[in-house]
Structure 1
Amino acid sequence: MDPIRIEGLNFAYGEGDLRRPVLRDVSLTVHAGEVVLLTGPSGSGKTTLLTLIGALRGMQDGSCRVLGREMLGASERDRVALRRRIGFIFQNHNLLGFLTARQNVAMALEIEAGMPERERLDRAGAMLAAVGLAGHEDKTPAKLSGGQRQRVAIARALVAEPGLVLADEPTAALDKVSGGEVVHLLRDLAKSRGTAILMVTHDPRILDIADRIVTMEDGRIVEAANAA
């Protein structure tokens, strides 16, 4: 099963005279274990496409199958259930400042009914060690660097073993060294688990992590090529 299979997807904001098409006849497949970068100018529809794939907004037209579930016509309950199977990583990491790194990561396991708190915290600690943060588990985000905070976000995204990871500009707030380390770490961890990654980026420094680079322009996919 391909984690993402999209055919003929269209999406617009607004209604009537204010209706503004954002995505036009988009078709895209992402295979298991594949790293695909979504590039293109601002306003080309990349983030909107990511939010539809991530079940963060409802579909309007076309087919979008994510982890085997069709999103066209899906109820809010269905979308919530799907979101629990996806790991999300955002530009601003979205960590809770009053929780430690371990607690932030463990939150992603609260959906696992019946899992004891001790097991959640142990798994969170192991995942933090996997992203190179052993010894930092009990620090709050304010006591971590930008690159370390994004590593916590990666740990949180991967700890529940999702079938798909969606990342939106994960290196935008990081310097060159930290950004490169973070995305290579994400790729290596996901590859070892056979997890697909779809990442929106404007950052030309990280193109080498991709299996494929998909370019969007004016709501359409204008190029999809294997990375060199």
Structure 2
Amino acid sequence: MDPISIDKLNFHYGEGELRRRVLRDVSLTVHAGEVVLLTGPSGSGKTTLLTLIGALRGMQDGSCRVLGHELMGASERARVALRQSIGFIFQNHNLLGFLTARQNVAMSLELDAALSEAERLRRAGEMLAAVGLSGHEDKPPSKLSGGQRQRVAIARALVGNPGLVLADEPTAALDKVSGGEVVQQLRSLAKSRGTPILMVTHDPRILDIADRIVTMEDGRVVETVTA
């Protein structure tokens, strides 16, 4: 079963005269272990599609199966449960400034009641080492560079062994070197775990990490290229 299977998905914002369709008959499949980049101009619907796949908003029309769960008609409780199996990485990393890098990563494991705090912190430390942050575990975000903060975000997304990683412009705030290192690290870790990645990006510098590049325009998928 494919981690993502979308068929004829439509979505709009607003009602009446303000109604605006932002996704039009989108169909997309992401296979296990695959790295897929979503590209296209601003306003083409990329981020809206990512939020629907991530169960961050309710579906309106069409089918969207994620990790075996149909999201059309899914309850808020079901969507919350599904989100626990997805790793999210955002442009602005969303780290909590009053926590250390280790504590930020360990937060992703707090919903697992079977894990003690010591075990959560141990796993967080191992994951930070895996993204090249050994020795930085007890620093707050303010003491880390932009690239290092984004590595913490990657560690946080992957520490719970998610079935899927969704990333929205993870390199937008980084320079060329840091951005390249971050996405290569993400690809390497995800590939080693067989975790599929769907990443929204405008960054032409990172297209070489993709197995497939999907281009959107005016709410539609207009091109799919196998890298």
TM class by shorter chain equals over 0.9
Q: Give 1:153's aligned residue.
A: 153
Q: Give 2:123's aligned residue.
A: 123
Q: Give 2:53's aligned residue.
A: 53
Q: Give 2:3's aligned residue.
A: 3
The C-alpha deviation readout for 1:101-150, integer Å capped at 9, x for no partner, is 00000000011112100000000000000000000000000000000000
Alignment-mate amino acid for residue 43 of structure 1: G
Q: Give 1:214's aligned residue.
A: 214
Identity among equivalent pairs (%): 85
Give 1:16 deviation, angstroms. Answer: 1.2
| Cα RMSD for the two superposed structures | 0.4
Q: Give 1:36's aligned residue.
A: 36
Alignment-mate amino acid for residue 44 of structure 1: S
Q: Distance in 2 between matches of 1:130 and 1:38?
A: 26
Mapping of residues 95-134 of structure 1, within 5 Å = 95-134=95-134
Q: Give 1:177's aligned residue.
A: 177
Q: Give 2:76's aligned residue.
A: 76
Give 1:173 deviation, angstroms. Answer: 0.2
Q: Distance in 2 between matches of 1:165 and 1:123?
A: 18
The C-alpha deviation readout for 1:199-220, integer Å capped at 9, x for no partner, is 0000000000000000000000
Q: Distance in 2 between matches of 1:113 and 1:8?
A: 38
Gaps of 5+ in 2: none
Structure 2 residue matching 1:221: 3-state secondary structure: strand
Q: Give 1:201's aligned residue.
A: 201
Structure 1 residue matching 2:136: 3-state secondary structure: coil
Q: Distance in 2 between matches of 1:172 and 1:114?
A: 36
Alignment-mate amino acid for residue 13 of structure 1: Y
In the TM superposition, structure 1's runs of 4+ consecutive aligned residues that sit over 2 Å from their partners are none
Alignment-mate amino acid for residue 67 of structure 1: L
Q: Give 2:162's aligned residue.
A: 162
Q: Give 2:26's aligned residue.
A: 26
Gaps of 5+ in 1: none
Please report the TM-score for the alignment, with normalisation by the length of structure 1.
0.99
Count of aligned residue pairs for this structure pair: 227
Please report the TM-score for the alignment, with normalisation by the length of structure 2.
1.00
Give 1:226 deviation, angstroms. Answer: 0.1
